[in-house]
Amino acid sequence: MATNLLLNIAWTHVSTRVRQTLVGMAGVAMGVSFTIMMAGLMQGSQIDFLRQLVDTMPHVTVEDERRAVPAQPADQEYAAVQMSNVANINKRPGIKYPESVMASLRSWLPGDVAPSVKTTAIIDHGGGRIGVTLTGIDPRQEVRVSKLASQMREGQITDLAHAPNAIIIGEALAEKLAVKTGNTVVLIGGQDTELSATVVGLFRSGLKRVDEGQIYSLIGLAQVVMGQSGVINQLRLRLRDPLAAQKVATQVEAQTGYKSVSWQEANSDLLSTFAVRDFIVLTVMGAMLLTSSFATYNIISTITHEKRQDIAIMKSLGMREYSVRRIFIIESAIIGAVGIVFGWILGYLLCYAWSHITIFNPLTGTTVPLQIYYSPTHYIVVAAISIVCCAGAAFFPARKATRVHPVEIIRGAS
Amino acid sequence: MSEIALQAVGLVRRIEGVISHTLVNGIDLSVKKGEFLAVTGPSGSGKSSLLYLLGLLDAPTEGEVIICDQPTSKLSESERADVRLTKCGFVFQFHFLLPEFTSLDNVLLPMRAAGKLPEKDMRERGLALLTSLGLGEHAGKRPNQLSGGQRQRVAIARALSNRPEIIVADEPTGALDTASTEQVFAILRDIADSGQTVVVVTHDPALAARADRRIHIVDGKIHETIEGRERTPKVSVAVSATAAEP
């Protein structure tokens, strides 16, 4: 059957029902535009959050521990004997020969590595005491593995080397402790270590738990607070491709034997939450598109009902049933296609308008714009789903209408 | 090639249900090429049902319809549609033109569905058909801009557009005034005279008398067959052989 004829009939049907056709197109356009806007908004906020997360922490962290507890010598010697309360061998903490390990990693690593010391401390100022994580860093190497330098709001990370017992703290922590740059605070570490430290800079990562619970110093100071001179208990890796972190962590762990944790593993609970959120969002978006296709269903149902006589005549003239059915599916496709184009335009405009909306965060006291992610994939996927929904919405009323026996209609009309 | 254009053999059409009803009850019939056959009978006698069976719009419960030497009882619905498209032309009591399309587009519909001619040739043929039926200047008009007789003539042009072997007409003058009735019947007579087979169901005995042969149906059976026609003067509007077969 000539496609031109079917297109001609379909176009005539939709173009002579302007109001119905426009309503159908508006339904599709609304569904498509809001779905695009939602997809951009959800993915934008997710990407923004992950970017902050990835920027704030190392892509891979090598720690001075093993993933599995090593077997005790007694266990190895007496395998058939049940033993309990076997004391651990006291070993000095830290990564053995960290410089050698780093040199070895640098030979193949698609990124860079820097040493650090991680310990806990209590920061005391004016009677306020807050437990924090203290990370001792080498400012010259740190710039290669973290965005700390760009997150500085006051001072620079090189200032750590310009004052004795210098520390850098988060803006949020400074606010809680009422500390300003240049103030002196007391650091209380393990083994009754207590010393004065000077705040030489403030940073803001955007993550509350980091900005309130993380401070930085030189490696030497962290070792003193920890009570372990000369120890390096962390290697921090930054990769050119953050998404390769899991694979690299596995390789590093296999090479060094130390537990290597990628940023994905460290935030696996968060990422699984994202997966659940993605599923919910996809379900909602699918439901929106499906609902919008009901407008098309209604219109095609109405047209097929009104055109029962024409259907009978076309069949009696010799047009095949599936050809007549295709007419209505083409009509739906026309409504869907035009609706999709308008939906794309409207969706883009909505995204643009939404990206200018700012949200005030009372916890941080900051105002941030809504993050929108613009992706051609959103437009293509939404259009594909929408056109399938429209075709499906047309198929069933069209099939029902074209199954009618022409004689029944002709007799009825006569 | 036989001289028989249309043949019905033991044709039965029964509607099954709580109470079965037989519409056509064992009809045997042969219609020659170029013959004008009129089917008459009282309401509910089964004449329209017979016509639908002969035109492959309906399938018989028993028996066979042979169109141009082609048995049709074993054809699929799609194959029956193809036969309708290429070998049969239909004219109904009501014009049944597609209301959004012009007269010319309605005439072109079967040709476009068959897709055998270039668009230019189809349009030329469609215009020639409309002109031969006195509707040349109405080619661009929609059905609602035409009179009842004009609409029916457009429907006849549509039936002729694919140059079918057989024209099947179900009370084509049933909704027309006297003048239009004369015109339409004259056209159908001319079609038969130009070599195409015409089968017409009509209630009008005067018009049926102009057919080459009349069969009278009662209770789904042929009750009477009358050969020969009464000669009447031709009406001015008539389809030309060149339009029917360019």
**Residue A270 clears pLDDT 90, i.e. is over it:** no
Predicted model pTM: 0.70
**How far is B52 from A409, CA to CA, in rounded Å?**
13
**Residue A160 clears pLDDT 90, i.e. is over it:** yes
Question: Sorting pLDDT into bands at 50, 70 and 90, what band is A247?
Answer: very high
CB-based burial, A76-108: b 16+ in 10 Å, e otherwise: eeeeeeeeeeeeeeeeeebbeebeebbeebeee
Contacts of A145 (CB under 8 A, 6+ apart): A58, A111, A112, A113, A114, A236, A237, A238
Alpha-carbon Rg for chain B in angstroms: 17
**Residue A127 clears pLDDT 90, i.e. is over it:** no
A7 touching B, CB under 8 A? Answer: no
Given an 8 Å threshold on Cβ–Cβ distance, is B85 in contact with A317?
Answer: yes
Q: Specify the pLDDT at position B226.
A: 84
Q: Specify the pLDDT at position B244.
A: 41
B93 touching A, CB under 8 A? Answer: yes
ipTM above 0.85, yes or no: no
Question: Sorting pLDDT into bands at 50, 70 and 90, what band is A129?
Answer: confident
Report the CATH number of the B33-54+77-244 domain: 3.40.50.300
CA-based nearest distance A350→chain B, Å: 38
The per-residue pLDDT string of chain B (246 residues; one tens digit each, 9 = 90 and over) reads 458 889 999 999 998 877 888 889 889 999 999 999 999 998 888 888 999 999 999 999 999 999 988 999 889 988 999 999 999 999 888 888 998 899 999 999 999 998 888 989 999 999 998 998 888 899 999 999 998 889 988 998 999 888 899 999 988 887 777 877 888 888 888 888 888 999 999 888 888 888 899 999 999 898 888 887 655 544 444 444 344 443
* Chain A, nearest residue to B78 by Cα: A320
Q: Specify the pLDDT at position B238.
A: 46
Question: Sorting pLDDT into bands at 50, 70 and 90, what band is A1?
Answer: low
Give the three-class secondary structure for A368: strand
Between CA A66 and CA A72, with CA A70 as vertex, the angle to 5 degrees is: 155
pLDDT tens readout for residues A323-377: 899 998 999 899 999 999 999 999 999 999 999 998 886 655 678 888 899 999 9
- Among all chains, which residue has been given the structure tokens 């130390």? A258
Asked if A71 contacts A89 with a C-beta cutoff of 8 angstroms, the reply is: no
Question: Sorting pLDDT into bands at 50, 70 and 90, what band is A128?
Answer: confident
Integer CA distances (angstroms), A274 to A50, A131, A268, A355, B191, in order: 10, 29, 10, 21, 76
B173 touching A, CB under 8 A? Answer: no
Contacts of B235 (CB under 8 A, 6+ apart): B182, B183, B185, B186
Residue among B94, B101, B112 whose CB faces A413 most closely: B94
Residues 316-355, chain A, touching B (beta carbon < 8 A): 316-321, 323
A229/A168: higher pLDDT: A168
Mean pLDDT of A282-293: 83
A-B CB pairs within 8 A amount to 77
Residue among A317, A321, A413 whose CB faces B84 most closely: A317
A414 touching B, CB under 8 A? Answer: yes
Q: Specify the pLDDT at position B230.
A: 57
A75/B9: higher pLDDT: B9
pLDDT tens readout for residues A174-196: 999 999 999 999 999 877 788 99
Helix/strand/coil percentages in chain B, nearest 5: 35, 25, 40
Strand partners, A168: A201, A216
E-assigned strand segments in A18-175: 60-63, 111-125, 128-137, 152-154, 166-170
HSE-CB of B47 using CA atoms within 13 angstroms: 25
Residue-range domain boundaries for chain B: 33-54+77-244
Q: Specify the pLDDT at position B246.
A: 37
Integer CA distances (angstroms), B190 to B161, B185, B201, in order: 15, 9, 17
A86/A257: higher pLDDT: A257
Q: Specify the pLDDT at position A87.
A: 64
A2 touching B, CB under 8 A? Answer: yes
Sheet holding B70-71, edge to edge: B21-32, B4-15, B62-67, B70-71
Between CA B214 and CA B90, with CA B204 as vertex, the angle to 5 degrees is: 75
Alpha-carbon Rg for chain A in angstroms: 33
Disruptive mutation site among B97, B100, B158 for chain A (greatest number of A CBs within 10 Å): B100
Contacts of B112 in chain A (CB under 8 A): 2, 4-5, 8
**How far is B25 from A322, CA to CA, in rounded Å?**
33
Task: Please give the single-letter amino acid code of residue B169.
Answer: A
Instruction: Kindly state the tokens that stand for B38.
Output: 């009129």
**How far is A60 from B145, CA to CA, in rounded Å?**
80
Q: Specify the pLDDT at position B201.
A: 92
**How far is A372 from A356, CA to CA, in rounded Å?**
10
Angle between helices A3-15 and A18-56 in degrees, nearest 10 = 100
Task: Please give the single-letter amino acid code of residue A146.
Answer: S
A294/A131: higher pLDDT: A131
Q: Specify the pLDDT at position B241.
A: 39
**How far is B163 from B244, CA to CA, in rounded Å?**
7
pLDDT tens readout for residues A131-142: 999 999 999 998
10 Å Cβ neighbour count for B72?
Answer: 17
Residue-range domain boundaries for chain A: 3-54+271-413, 93-261
10 Å Cβ neighbour count for B62?
Answer: 14
Q: Specify the pLDDT at position A322.
A: 87
A308 touching B, CB under 8 A? Answer: no
A411/B225: higher pLDDT: B225
Contacts of B85 in chain A (CB under 8 A): 317-319
Instruction: Kindly state the tokens that stand for A177.
Output: 């402790």
Task: Please give the single-letter amino acid code of residue A201.
Answer: G
Asked if A172 contacts A161 with a C-beta cutoff of 8 angstroms, the reply is: no
Q: Specify the pLDDT at position A83.
A: 67
Q: Specify the pLDDT at position A249.
A: 94
Instruction: Kindly state the tokens that stand for A216.
Output: 């930085």
